[in-house]
Every structure is written in structure tokens, then in C-alpha cells.
Amino acid sequence: MDKIIINGGNPLEGSVEISGAKNAVLPIMAAALMGNGISIITRVPDLRDTRTMIRLMEIIGAKVSFKEGTLTVDGSSVNNPEAPYDLVKTMRASFYVLGPLIARFGEVKVSLPGGCAWGPRPVDYHLKGLEELGAKVTLDSGYILAESKKLQGKTIRFEYPSVGATGNIAMAAVTANGTTIIENAAREPEIEQLCIFLNKMGADISGVGTDKLIIKGVSQLEPADIEVIPDRVEAGTFLMAGAALGEVTINKIVPTHLRTVLIKLEETGAKVRTNQNSITITRSDKIIPVDMTTAVFPGFPTDLQAQWVALMMLAEGSSVITDTVYHDRFSHVPELNRLGANIHVENNVAIIRGVKKLVGAPVMSTDIRASASLINGGLMAHGRTEVSRIYHIDRGYERIEEKFRSLGADIMRKTES
Ligand code: EPU
């Protein structure tokens, strides 16, 4: 298993180009299954999760080719509306094929994502939404079976603006009879882009980017082309490293996607300069502690919570970080404490007492964003940090060690069999 080895403490200086967004490309790939022909998706990041989605689409019958950031999906051969456990268990986002496949075939069989159970659990909004559109949904041997010859448009109000449920129900509804209205829809830029792609395919969705989507059913979708938006989470990860360690410019990004994050970064004392599609951050002599609470877009993203915790480790004072989106997303904390941080977690709140110095140590990745916080932490610590189980980081970050190396970091990948 690969490891990342960091000799921390080097200042960072320079610029990096941000990749296409993982959480935008995955639902777009699922949507391309609805087009009876070839869709071309560009600026596709080469990630484990992209590769997992390609495997899943091939099982479903699509012809997919992926070369130098361009993904070509031929949906005309799609013939198997089934997502097997072996793939779904490795990537929750596989669940995104639910909506497109029921829309196209009138039936679908998708494994429940690992760790979830039937009932009021993390896919209940998706399933309840499908039922409201008239689908019969059952659970059989760990698989969700959903069927409906033709879904019927309806007004659906989500209890919580779930990203995945908004995407899935929007995809299911585009070819339903009549009009579907999704109230309390997710407004994340990745969902906005999914709706833009669906409209390019011939869907009729208005209210795109707002919390109320109005979807008028059309008879069928055609293939379409799109360039994936930049990854605001990757961008935020580099900005937070820069705020601790030097002067970093991130290029090819959309600054408005990061508005809340930039406000918070400025509160830490870092200097932030924004241009049309780039941002430069310069560290200040001291990091001012800043409390932060995650929220749905346009709030501070939960996917940058772990990296914010890492930044606050060296702040001059205490900060309180609350995650309201996920209530137990703090697996990075015991690992960051191994670097000498002083972080205490109570329920969904982390209390960080800033320390003067961090010292490198062996640490272990537990999920995508936790891994990013360990890399940022390792860069901030003195001496050697070894981050193991980095397959987690490869799920969501493209060549992260190369990008940090180009900024002057002493970081390398060690391949172990
Ligand atoms: N929830 C339910 N029931 C549902 C769906 C969600 O209770 O049916 C709850 C979840 O348990 C959670 C909250 O609602 O507490 C938000 O979940 P959401 O459905 O919005 O998340 P998701 O669609 O499963 C996407 C991203 C996550 C990101 C969240 C929140 C993708 C592929 N994943 O997940 O990204 O954290 O939105 O913004 O888009 C990551 O990239 O590392 C990652 C975890």
C-alpha cells in the first residue's frame, strides 16, 4: 500500500492548477447514462472515484473511454440497470445511478451503500422521493429495487437539502409525466452544474442553483457535452495550506464558489487576493483562531472541516469547530493529535487549543478529507510524517503530492507492495 512521506516545515510558494470537481463529475457521469448517444465530458479528474464510476458504467452497458481528462460516454448501449454491491460499497456516489436508470428503464436494482440500513438512514430521502414520484421501492438482499413504468411529477419537499437526493430525484424526474417541484433542494455548485448538464441534454429545469427546482418532464434526453467545474474542495485545501505556510496561488477556479471560505481565511489574518479565476493567499506572522460551523452551500463546506481543524492547530489561541452536516466526521482528530496538536472532540464539536509547534509522526488516513488534513498537518509539522492508507486521498485528489512538491514542499509517494 502506498504512503505519503513528508518532511515538514518547508515554506510553500508558487501556483497550482485546480482539477475538475469530483463531486460534480460523478453525478454528470450518471446523467450521461440517460443520453442515447455520445456525451463528452472534459476536465475530468483522474481519481479512484472517477475510475470506480467508469467501471460501474461499463457494467451497466455504457461504452466509456477516458484519456487526458476527457471522458467519452456512449449511452446508446446501456442495457443493465443494476449496480452491484462490490462497487457501491467502495463509493457511495454509485447511488447516483438510481435516478437515471429508473428514468430510462422503468426499473433499477442498486445495492445499498455500505454501512447503511433500511429505514430513516442516509438514503431515505432518495427513496422517499422516488416513492413520491410513484415508484414502488423494496429492499431485497441488500439491494434497493425500484420500479415504475412512468414516474409522475409531484411537489417534493426535502427535510434537509441533501446533495445526493436532490441530484437523484432531479435525474429521475426529468422524463417523468408532468411537473416535479423539488423544494428545499441542495444549492451546491455541483448540483447546479448537474442541472445545467441535464438541460443541455434536453431537460427542462428552471430555478437552477436555487433551493426550488421546477422540472417539466420531457420525453427523452439526448447526449451533451460539458466541462466540469473546478474542485472547490481541492482549492480550499491548498488555500489552507498556504494560509499556514507561505504564498500560494490557485488557478482555474471560480472564486464565488469559495466566498465563505475566503471570508474565514481573511479572519485568520491571511491576506487574500482574488482575480477573475485565481486566488492568492499569503500567510501572516500569526494565525488568529477562528471558530467555524459547517453548513450547506453557500455556508462553509463540511468537506473542508478537517483541513480547517488542521489550520487551527497552530493558531494563537482556541477555536471551536462545529460540523452540522455530519455529526461524527472527526476521525482525523486522533491522528492530528499524534502530531502534537491539542484537539478535543465532544459530539459534533472540536475544540482546538493552538500549539506553538507540531512534530511529524506516522499517521493513518481514514477518509478523503481526513487524509487531506493529515497532509496539510504533516507539511506544518517539523520532521517526518508518514501518511498511510493513502488510497483514501487518491479517491478525491489528483496527484496531490506532485502539486505540493511544485510549491516547494518536501513530499513524496512511497509505493509498497
Ligand atoms: N441524509 C439523510 N438521508 C438521506 C440523505 C442524506 O439523512 O437520504 C443526511 C446525511 O446523513 C448527512 C446530510 O443529510 O448528514 C447531508 O448529506 P448529503 O446527502 O447532502 O450528502 P451526500 O450527497 O451523500 C455529498 C458529497 C459529500 C459531501 C456532502 C455534503 C458527493 C459524491 N458527495 O454527499 O462529499 O460531504 O454532499 O456536502 O457529492 C467528499 O467529497 O469527501 C464527500 C463526503
Ligand 1 mean position, distance from CA 93 (Å) = 9
Beta bridge partners of 216: 179, 204
Mean pLDDT of 139-166: 96
DSSP letter (8 states) at residue 114: T
Residue 195 annotated to the active site: no
Q: What is the pLDDT of residues 7-32, one digit of tens each?
A: 999 999 999 999 999 999 999 999 99
The phi, psi pair for 7, rounded to 5°, reads: -105, 105
Mean pLDDT of 412-416: 91
Mean pLDDT of 211-217: 98
| Topology given in CATH for the domain delimited by 22-227 | UDP-n-acetylglucosamine1-carboxyvinyl-transferase; Chain (3.65.10)
Q: What is the pLDDT of residues 81-129, one digit of tens each?
A: 999 999 998 899 999 999 999 999 999 999 988 643 223 358 999 999 9
CATH 3.65.10.10 spans which residues of the chain?
2-19+230-415, 22-227
Least Cα distance to 409 among 12, 1, 2, 4 occurs for 12
HSE-CB for 377 with a 13 A CA cutoff: 38
Which residue, judged by its Cα, is nearest atom 14 of ligand 1? 162
E strand map for 297-400: 318-322, 342-346, 349-353, 362-364, 383-388
- Cα–Cα distance, 214 to 233 (Å, whole number): 28
Chain-wide mean pLDDT for the chain? Answer: 95
Percent over 70 (pLDDT), the chain: 98
Mean pLDDT of 382-387: 98
Mean pLDDT of 235-239: 98
Place of cell 488510497: 391
Ligand 1 mean position, distance from CA 302 (Å) = 9
Q: Which of 59, 116, 320, 355 is catalytic?
A: 116
Which atom of ligand 1 is nearest to 297's Cα? 38
- Cα–Cα distance, 122 to 113 (Å, whole number): 9
CB 30, CB 413: distance < 8 Å = no
Cross-sheet strand order for the sheet of 342-346: 292-293, 318-322, 349-353, 342-346
Least Cα distance to 305 among 317, 318, 319, 316 occurs for 319
The enclosing H or E element of 181 equals: strand 179-183
Confidence at residue 114, expressed as pLDDT on a 0 to 100 scale: 63
Q: What is the pLDDT of residues 346-357, one digit of tens each?
A: 999 999 999 999
Asked if pLDDT for residue 154 goes beyond 60, the answer is yes
Confidence at residue 186, expressed as pLDDT on a 0 to 100 scale: 98
Asked if residue 160 has its Cβ within 6 Å of ligand 1, the reply is: yes
Handedness of CA 124, 126, 128, 130 (dihedral sign): negative
Asked if residue 27 has its Cβ within 6 Å of ligand 1, the reply is: no
Mean pLDDT of 239-263: 98
Confidence at residue 113, expressed as pLDDT on a 0 to 100 scale: 85
Mutate to test the pocket of ligand 1, among 48, 163, 304, 324 (most ligand atoms within 8 A of CB): 163
Which atom of ligand 1 is nearest to 301's Cα? 38
Asked if residue 125 has its Cβ within 6 Å of ligand 1, the reply is: yes
Mean pLDDT of 189-206: 98
Least confident of 46-50, 116-120, 226-230, 291-295: 116-120
Confidence at residue 66, expressed as pLDDT on a 0 to 100 scale: 98
Instruction: Tell me the CATH architecture of domain 2-19+230-415.
Output: Alpha-beta prism (3.65)
Asked if residue 166 has its Cβ within 6 Å of ligand 1, the reply is: no
- Cα–Cα distance, 378 to 355 (Å, whole number): 15
Mean pLDDT of 389-410: 96
